[in-house]
């Protein structure tokens, strides 16, 4: 009964994460139902993801198109809401449009142009995107630098198919999760400034921030989407 055991573990982990989200939300005077949990299944096989769906995970995140394709084909495109959370290479853009409900990792005008064009070509009515922001000037990471944000946001205003629905951040890693709090605060401030300019298609401006190590802090600081892998699926062997 290997599977049953895994299913129980997944259920417990998922419940634990949900309880932590609830208490962090309460602490910040927020409602837990404003926060969407993305279960990040990268490196874990389709069978495990299927079990996660069975015990209540309804939104799944993947960071590589090819890996996601294999798993989505096995599980079924309609069985969950699928989010791309990793850098998207332009030669995988068409595949990504086919596979994902939300692209959280939009990081260049060039990619936005390509996605908009592909949506037209493929008759994809609308595609929700978040712009990945790099607030730490980490040259090694993807993400739009603060100074380059106006250009991509202006472009997104002209798109018919791409829906600019919010911001995403992968802050620098710190052992001490408290050290990421300033990045979460900055991202929320930026989102609030953009709300004033009415640039979001959904009128809300999602804040995708917080991973296994720091999601409670992210929720306290206003996250509307948290992306959680390890705390649900356990440690990754690779990736
Ligand atoms: C892997 C990954 C996560 C989940 O990380 P955990 O620390 O395992 O929760 C979240 N966001 C992105 C962009 C990732 O690549």
Residue nearest to atom 13 of ligand 1 (CA): 85
Per-residue model confidence (pLDDT) at position 1:
41
Render the burial of 11-32: b for 16+ CB within 10 Å, e for the rest: bebbeebeebbbebbeeeebeb
How far does the centroid of ligand 1 lie from the alpha carbon of residue 105, in Å? 12
Residue 141 has pLDDT above 90, yes or no: no
State pTM to two decimals.
0.96
- CA 27-28-30 angle, to 5 degrees, is 110
207-222 pLDDT, tens digit each: 999 999 999 999 999 9
Q: How far apart are CA 209 and CA 78, in angstroms?
A: 25
If you average pLDDT over every residue of the chain, what do you get? 95
Q: How far apart are CA 79 and CA 52, in angstroms?
A: 11
Q: What percentage of the chain reaches a pLDDT higher than 90?
A: 92
Selection from 87, 51, 94, 93 nearest residue 71 by Cα: 51
How far does the centroid of ligand 1 lie from the alpha carbon of residue 223, in Å? 15
Asked whether 205 lines ligand 1 (CB < 6 A), one says no
Asked whether 207 lines ligand 1 (CB < 6 A), one says no
Q: How far apart are CA 199 and CA 190, in angstroms?
A: 12
67-119 pLDDT, tens digit each: 999 999 999 999 999 999 999 999 999 999 999 999 999 999 999 999 999 99
How far does the centroid of ligand 1 lie from the alpha carbon of residue 22, in Å? 20
Asked whether 212 lines ligand 1 (CB < 6 A), one says yes
16-56 pLDDT, tens digit each: 999 999 999 999 999 999 999 999 999 999 999 999 999 99
How far does the centroid of ligand 1 lie from the alpha carbon of residue 121, in Å? 31
């Amino acid at each position: 009964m290997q599977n049953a055991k895994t299913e129980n573990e997944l259920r417990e982990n998922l419940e634990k994460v949900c309880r932590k989200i609830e208490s962090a939300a309460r602490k910040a005077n927020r409602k837990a139902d404003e926060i969407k949990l993305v279960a990040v299944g990268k490196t874990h096989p389709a069978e495990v993801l299927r079990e996660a769906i069975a015990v209540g995970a309804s939104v799944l995140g993947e960071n590589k198109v090819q890996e996601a394709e294999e798993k989505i084909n096995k599980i079924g495109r309609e069985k969950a809401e699928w989010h791309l959370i990793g850098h998207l290479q332009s030669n995988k853009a068409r595949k990504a449009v086919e596979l994902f409900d939300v692209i959280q990792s939009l990081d260049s005008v060039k990619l936005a142009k390509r996605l908009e064009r592909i949506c037209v070509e493929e008759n994809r009515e609308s595609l929700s995107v978040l712009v990945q922001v790099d607030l730490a000037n980490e040259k090694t990471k993807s993400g739009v630098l603060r100074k380059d944000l106006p250009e991509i946001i202006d472009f997104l205003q002209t798109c018919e198919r791409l829906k600019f629905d919010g911001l995403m951040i992968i802050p620098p890693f710190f052992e001490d999760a408290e050290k990421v709090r300033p990045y979460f605060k900055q991202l929320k401030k930026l989102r609030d400034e953009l709300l004033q300019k009415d640039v979001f298609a959904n009128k809300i401006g999602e804040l995708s921030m917080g991973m296994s190590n720091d999601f409670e802090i992210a929720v306290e600081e206003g996250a509307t989407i948290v992306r959680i892998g390890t705390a649900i699926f356990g440690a990754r062997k690779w990736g």
